[in-house]
Structure 1
Amino acid sequence: MSLSTFQSMFLPVLAGLILLTIGFNKRENNSGVLMMWLGMLSILGIMVWKILEKLH
């Protein structure tokens, strides 16, 4: 089963947004802050990757 380009980008973005949502709800704990960091880094990483892919 091969994933389309949309699906291959949608799943990591969705995972990052879920991490942000759960992390924001648990922001009083260190684990919540870590989840927010991971969510932001994953979404930022995907954006940078796609920009560099378009420039190459």
Structure 2
Amino acid sequence: MISLSTFNYMLVPILTGMILLAIGFNFRDKNAGVFAMWIGMLTILATVVIKILAKLNE
């Protein structure tokens, strides 16, 4: 079972990425909105990749 601290360490970056995606989508006609979407997408992807690599190293 996943411990609560590990869950929180995964939850915070994913929620941050989702918020950045939502803000970026609302301002997609401006460069800052597109940048926010990129950062949000990379944040979520990095969290998933780090979790996969951690499981592979066990």
Whether TM exceeds 0.5 here: the answer is yes
Q: Which runs of 4+ in 1 moved over 6 A?
A: none
Unmatched 5+ stretches in structure 1: none
Cα deviations by residue, 1:2-56 (Å, 9 ceiling, x for unpaired): x711111111110000000000000000000000000000000111110010001
Question: How high is the sequence identity, in percent, across the aligned residues?
Answer: 59
Q: Specify the alignment match of 2:37 in structure 1.
A: 36
How well do the aligned residues superpose, as a CA RMSD in angstroms?
Answer: 1.0
Unmatched 5+ stretches in structure 2: none
Q: TM-score, normalised by structure 2?
A: 0.88
